[in-house]
Structure 1
Amino acid sequence: MTLEYYQRHAQDFFSTTVNVDMASLYHPFLQHIPERGRILDAGCGSGRDSKAFLEKGYQVDAFDASSEMVSLASQHTGLGVKQMTFSDINDVERYDGIWCCASLLHVSAEELPDVMSKLARALKTGGTWYVSFKYGETERVKDGRHFTDLTEQGLEKLIAPLTDIVLINNWKTIDKRPDRDEMWLNALLQKRA
């Protein structure tokens, strides 16, 4: 369902998100990533964030589930963006940083624990992981897309089984797109030894 949405609306989604200024979200994440560190942009959408990280000198791997989004993101970034889902992640201790901006929210509440475990495994010890979810406590379908919303308590419950992952910080923001006023939960996680 969600994948079909992005296949059909890839160009519109690209156009409305590619130029959104995310600098205020990059800063808290990147201060924890070593110079030239390797970042995974997981569910990269337009490739906007991948391109920003590349321009700052980081090594970037990116993927998206939608072949249409992969094509647009590859063109935009010059990267070989992979077509895959969160379930396909099998890297171990590969990334200094993992960036999940408005992507994990499309994973069902039932599948989220397994996906979080796969991402945690892919993060190097000492690595930092950014996640964002629409703020709330519901699982819902809106305009052909599935959303799993989280509050601070929901996020804490989600990461509790990940014994090597700690919450560094969480904060709320208003949607960065000019025509939106939704509330978002942002969080920085870190993998400890």
Structure 2
Amino acid sequence: MTSIAYYDQHCDAFVANTASVDMTELYTAFLSRLKPGAHILDAGCGSGRDTCHFLKQGYHVTAIDGSVAMVRHASAFTGINVRQLTFENLDYQAAFEGIWACASLLHIPLSELPDVMARMSEALKNNGIWYLSFKYGAGEVSRDGRSFTNLTEESLGELVDALSGISLLSTWQTSDKRSDREDERWLNALCKYSKTPVQTTWQPA
């Protein structure tokens, strides 16, 4: 079973388990760097929870997901037309001031991440901000019918360093907000795209 097939088959259970997760800290870190009304790509929108928040805050949102079941649910939940699209086929060019990739890129195999991340970076406008998160750790694992690529600050930094125009602004760890997952750690990161990037040496937060 692929990860997309998992979400197609377990859409209702996944929505119920994630709909009420408190994302305030992450929203603030991301949105504080965007101008009012900015155009955001919710990449791997799942239930549409985050898209709804961004819309309510006055942002313009394009939402995509690879799962047909999730697309149907998110479209109904958010009231916008969510696009069914896998990251491997991402086709936007300089379209967004912000990209929100929350717990979504982690399902891409490590060998395919460089290409997918390059496609995503190309979707950013100049000075665009990109939030992304992975489960914290090393290597690829499979669990409950889904595959996960875990990253550390160092391995994420190596991936970002290979991207043209992308600078890693900050990384930080958080615990899972779900009550039954508090022992799980997440790696969060904010990146910025610039046509003329300033060469800096990043340090994990």
TM-score calculated relative to the size of structure 1: 0.98
Runs of 4+ aligned structure 1 residues displaced above 4 Å come to none
Aligned to 2:130: 129
1:32-74 Cα offsets, whole Å, 9 max, x none, are 1111000000000111000000000000000111110111111
Letter in 2 for 1:187: A
Aligned partners of 2:127, 2:39: CA distance in 1, in Å? 13
Matches of residues 142-181 of structure 1 in structure 2 within 5 Å?
142-181=143-182
Sequence identity, in percent?
A: 49
What is the Cα deviation at residue 20 of structure 1?
1.1
Letter in 1 for 2:139: T
Aligned to 1:58: 59
RMSD (Å) for aligned C-alpha atoms: 0.7
Letter in 1 for 2:167: V
What is the Cα deviation at residue 163 of structure 1?
2.9
Matches of residues 90-101 of structure 1 in structure 2 within 5 Å?
90-101=91-102
Aligned partners of 1:4, 1:52: CA distance in 2, in Å? 26
Aligned to 1:45: 46
1:151-173 Cα offsets, whole Å, 9 max, x none, are 00010111111130001110000
Aligned partners of 2:29, 2:168: CA distance in 1, in Å? 13
Aligned to 1:188: 190
Aligned partners of 2:63, 2:78: CA distance in 1, in Å? 10
Letter in 2 for 1:191: Y
Structure 2 gaps, min length 5:
196-205
Structure 1 gaps, min length 5:
none
Letter in 1 for 2:98: G
2:188 alignment partner, SS class:
strand
Matches of residues 1-40 of structure 1 in structure 2 within 5 Å?
1-40=2-41
TM-score calculated relative to the size of structure 2: 0.93
What is the Cα deviation at residue 3 of structure 1?
1.2
Letter in 2 for 1:157: E
Q: Number of residues paired by the alignment?
A: 193
Aligned partners of 2:122, 2:154: CA distance in 1, in Å? 23
